[in-house]
Structure 1
Amino acid sequence: MTTSITTNFIPAQAAVQPGGMSVDQVISPFIGVFIAAFLVSLAATPLMRTLARKNGIVDKPDLARKLHREPIPYLGGVAIFLGWIAGMTACLLAYRYNDAGQIERLVNIPISIVFGAGVITLVGLFDDVYGSSPRVKLGGQLLAAAALASEKVGFMLVTQLLAVCGITNPPFMLCYIAGAALIAIFVLGGTNAMNLIDGLDGLAAGSAAIMNVGFLAIAVYAMIGTAMADPELTGSDPVADPVRIVLCLAALGAVLGFLPYNFNPASIFMGDAGSLLLGFLAVATILSFAHSSSKGPGLVLAGLIVFALPIIDTTLAIIRRKMRGVSISVADKNHLHHQLLRFWQRFNFGPGASVKMTALSLYAVGLALAIFGVLVAVVRVRYSIALSMVFFGFLFVAAYKSGRRIVEMEKKAELAEQAELLKSDPAP
């Protein structure tokens, strides 16, 4: 079928035509998505900053855990959401005429992802403005997960994994229940993991930008590979649908528009509205890789490796707190960024320099993980699974040992402090 592309922001020759596509042909029809998301986020962030200051929606200094010494406005997450929505809206401007003269959209945007992103942002915004209980957050996250389940985003992963186990025609209810549970685990884990690394100026935003570059590389590879395998597929087919590319470009543009205001010294924070949103979008993108091709499981695992920085930090936090015998919701100052910050502070680079060095160091880690994730995506599925098992197995062992070392250091510090108190206040 021959088609022609008409859009308000791309040339006609940049059409997505499955079968012999290049990287430029895959991305260029949707470059307007990135531009719209970036510009709207860039413009909306200072407006949200002003609005937050006028209404007292600020993060007040806390000498116990927080590094800033002046109140910093929240609502950066709203700017990111507005930028993302602008990008998703821009993709609707890309359409084509088929041989019958009918208009066909290039992208089928799952409304469940848009709805879920809105719910997650509202839940985070409510917490930023008024404060909310963990139950309210949990309810919002489960509602967003239910939205994804309603359109079966990621369900194909269940059937693919069951096929690996030798179950070729599983019952519908088994697939639905397993798929819904899988989505809930992904959404709860991903959103909260992203929230945990948002503890340093620019860290969550910059890390999310790097992750989305990695996701974009996987999405482009998946679409080109699918087109080469089946040249008859069109963009309306869920396997060839470039929705994954649009999701990556919209999220990337939105977060890059926000980052200049958030990098140290930050003039605005994204708050829970931003961190939960970025985690949800990452999870939705990873789950959508299951629908990319027959390599779905390998691509999902590759996406998880790209997202591994929040996973590593969360795994460390859970193990560390379990060893200490406290609730996993109890905050501490032993996250990855805290430990790196203490390392860089030894060099006395000056005010703010240690924060910048910590963020840049973790950017480098995130970039290495993204590159590794893309490499895992391009190998055979069996190798992807093997590499992922080795990677996450190593991660768990390293997290366990690191958690044990930190707990032992804390106990030694407590004993030393008690000994000093006894020396300074001897018994009569």
Structure 2
Amino acid sequence: MNAVILIFVVAFALCLVTTPICRDLFLYFNIVDSPDKDRKFHIKPIPRIGGIPIVLSYAGALGLLLIFAPRNAAISIQHLTLFLSLLPATGIIFITGLVDDIFTLKPKQKLLGQSVAAVLAVSLGARMSMDNIPHSSFITIPLSIVWLIGCTNAVNLIDGLDGLASGVGLFATLTTLLAALATGNTGLAIATAPLLGCLLAFLRYNFSPASIFLGDCGSLTIGFMLGCFSLVWSQHNGTMLGMAAPLMALTLPLLDVVLSVGRRLLRSRPIFKGDRGHIHHMVLALGHKPHVAALILYGVSAVAAFFALLASFSGIRFLGPIIISFCILIWIGINRLGYVEVSAARRTLSRSNVFRILKEEIYLQELESSIKAAKTVEESWKIVQSACGEMCFASVRMFIAGASYEAIFESNSTNPYWKMNLVVGRSGYLVLTRGEEGRPHRLMGSVLFILQDSLRNKSYAAPKPIESSSTGTVYFTGGTRYPTEPVAAPTLTVQ
């Protein structure tokens, strides 16, 4: 315990001293993050190399402990060898982030560096544990690599608000440290204590208004280290359930990753392209100032830390109710943020909506098939007339193959609210009108596209004129008339 306190204090002091030195040095060389009018709204250029003092302080504190600690107290620490072997992997992550901060890397280049570091860390022993499953390495190795890459990018993505990424990392590190002390895992405690001291000191300069940013060299490194700590933390359980507590501790950044990827996929946007839809942006959109938003998300991290510790010490018997309660809180929080994509997905995937979408898709496919199967102008007109009636148009006129057809569905169609001409081939077209009180149908655009596309490629023989007068609401011009007959076309109830 004395070694844990000592290494925490040393790391805190080193970071408190080195951070302003690094800040002023990089400010002098103009290696800064400049504001823009898109996603960076800080007032003046700010250095973004906060990872340098954190890594220097962490390595310095750990090195001093190994040099001056008594041999019988610190050399045989549990998992210490593992953490020392992970330093090369952590170094790869740090260098990748630092190069990106200075020269700007492409997303694929950053991902390559992260993947190399993750594979190296897993090969050195940082992996999930599934002792109860034979040949579990075929499962745990890829899952561990994905976990490390996910944690690395998760902390990086939430680094969009002064003090947020470092504060969230602080809570996750504190949670891991408390779990390590409670389970007697001295090695894990020794590894996390200096990071806790570094983040606490760094917040002195990073909280709103920040004078230095973490940068990718800081956020990527912190996320990677927390991912490694989580894998070691989970090994005490020996099953996949051991990941429940670390997952809860990192809920906020990991949830932001899931939401970001999900939102961009739903909108068909590039996954690696930034936007203003992250969790901290949504909290700001609720009307909170930046420092208040950061404090709110600190509170969320504190609640997540409480559940993580509860899950870690509760045992299998109570783990289920804890996970369910935690998931309910997450769902409430997501709904409170007001994501349009989430509400749209929820409505779309509802049982009633799924059946409605299925019904509409069947209708559209039947409509397209029936037009393609029509052999005469009259058959095509019947289908067009039926479809336009379903879509609540006031009237429709069709000019095609030398014939003119018209159907009136509303009495006030002579004074329409709007009118549209739709070309259907070289010399054919539809004239559609809608009344002011006409109820638009959600499939209108799809129906019109199918009508235009299907009629465009059809060829008809000239229709034969019929002398008998038309009946109902269908009228024909151009010297030819055709009688109204029952429409053999698919139907859809307007909802």
Q: Which amino acid aligns with 1:356?
A: H
Matched, 1:149 2:110: no
- Cα pair 1:191 1:278 within 8 Å, conserved: yes
- Per-residue deviation at 1:272? 0.5
CA offsets 1:242-295 (integer angstroms, 9 cap, x no match): 221012211101111211111111111110011001101111111001333x46
Match of 1:109 in 2: 81
Matched, 1:328 2:271: yes
Match for residue 221 of structure 1? 182
Query: 1:173-209 deviations in whole A, cap 9, x for unaligned?
Result: xx33333212211111001111111000111111111
Q: Counterpart amino acid of 2:147?
A: F
**Cα distance in 1 for residues equivalent to 2:150 and 2:226:** 11
Change (3 A) 1:52 1:255: same
CA distance in 2, matches of 1:83, 1:279: 17
Matched, 1:356 2:356: no
* CA distance in 2: counterparts of 1:194 and 1:203, whole angstroms: 9
Residue type matched to 1:112 in 2? S
The corresponding residue for 1:9 is none
Paired residues of 1:216 and 1:245 also in contact (CA < 8 A)? yes
Spell out, residue by residue over 1:297-355, the C-alpha distance to the aligned partner (whole angstroms, 9 max, x if none): 4443111101101012122212221221212212111211111112234xxxxxxxx11
SS class of match (2:162): coil
The amino acid of 1:212's aligned partner reads T
Letter in 2 for 1:325: S
1:247 alignment partner, one of 171, 191, 194: 191
Q: Which has more radius of gyration? A: 2
Distance 1:291 1:406, change over 3 A: closer
Contact in 1 for aligned 2:263/2:341 (Cα 8 Å): no
Q: Is the contact made by 2:174 and 2:196 (CA closer than 8 Å) also made in structure 1?
A: yes
Which structure 2 residues correspond to residues 170-319 of structure 1 after superposition, within 5 A?
A: 170-171=134-135, 175-223=136-184, 240=185, 242-292=186-236, 294=237, 297-319=240-262
Structure-1 separation of matches of 2:113 and 2:219: 14
Contact residue 95 and residue 106 of structure 1 kept, 8 A: no
Q: 1:132 aligns to what SS in structure 2?
A: coil
Q: How does 1:377-396 map to 2 (within 5 A)?
A: 377-384=312-319, 387-388=322-323, 391-392=326-327, 395=330
Quick check: 1:73 aligned with 2:79? no
Q: Secondary structure at the match of 1:52?
A: helix
TM-score normalised by L of structure 2: 0.64
What letter is aligned with 2:130? V
1:76-114: CA deviations, max 9, x gaps? 11111111112322332333449xxxx944352323321
Q: CA RMSD in A?
A: 2.5
CA change 1:377–1:87 in 2 (3 A) is same
Matches within 5 A, 1:52-91: 52-91=26-65
- Secondary structure of 1:158's counterpart equals coil
Q: Which residue of 2 aligns with 1:348?
A: none
Give, in angstroms, the shift of residue 387 of structure 1.
Answer: 3.2
Provide structure 2 residue ranges, at least 5 long, that are not aligned to the other structure: 346-495
Whole-Å separation in 2 of the counterparts to 1:355 and 1:400: 21
- SS of equivalent residue, structure 1 residue 344: coil
**Structure 1 position 54, deviation (Å):** 2.2
Q: How does 1:117-128 map to 2 (within 5 A)?
A: 117-128=90-101
Q: Which moved more, 1:242-251 or 1:194-203?
A: 242-251
Measured in 2, the distance between the counterparts of 1:260 and 1:247 equals 22
Q: Which of the residues 83, 99, 110 maps onto 1:137?
A: 110
Contact 1:198 1:204 in 2 (8 A): yes
SS of 1:125's partner is helix
Q: Which runs of no fewer than 5 residues in structure 1 stay unpaired?
A: 1-26, 224-239, 346-353, 410-428
2:58 maps to amino acid: W
What TM-score, normalized to structure 1?
0.74
3-state SS of paired residue (1:56): coil
Pair 1:95 & 2:70 matched = yes
Q: CA deviation at 1:148?
A: 1.6
Which structure's relative contact order is higher, taking Cα pairs within 8 Å and 6+ residues apart?
1
Distance across 2 between alignment mates of 1:215 and 1:104:
21
SS where residue 130 of structure 2 aligns? helix
SS in 1 for 2:273: coil
Distance 1:55 1:177, change over 3 A: farther
CA distance in structure 2 between the aligned counterparts of 1:376 and 1:114, rounded to whole angstroms: 29
The letter of the residue matching 1:333 is R
State the alpha-carbon separation in 2 of the partners of residues 405 and 196 from structure 1.
19
Indicate conservation of the 8 Å contact 2:161/2:294, yes or no. yes
Give the Cα separation in 1 of the matches to 2:214 and 2:324: 33
Offset at residue 75 of structure 1 (A): 1.1
Cα displacement (A) at 1:382? 4.7
Higher helix share: 1
Distance change in 2, residues 1:384/1:247 (3 Å): farther
Separation in structure 2 between the aligned mates of residue 35 and residue 363 of structure 1, nearest angstrom: 23
Q: Which amino acid aligns with 1:329?
A: F
Say whether the 8 Å CA contact 2:48–2:215 is kept in structure 1.
Answer: yes
Q: Which residue of 2 aligns with 1:350?
A: none
The secondary structure found in structure 1 opposite 2:274 is coil
Residue 93 (structure 2) pairs with residue 158 (structure 1): no
Partner residue, 2:13: 39
Q: Note if contact 1:112-1:147 (Cα within 8 Å) is conserved in structure 2.
A: no
Q: Is the 8 A contact 1:321 1:328 kept in 2?
A: yes
Give SS of 2:210's match.
Answer: coil
Q: Which residue of 2 aligns with 1:237?
A: none
Which residue of 2 is the match for residue 351 of structure 1? none
Identity of aligned residues (%): 32
Q: Aligned partner of 2:292: which letter?
A: M
Equivalent of 2:284 in 325, 331, 341: 341
**Contact 1:204–1:275 at 8 Å: present in 2 too?**
yes
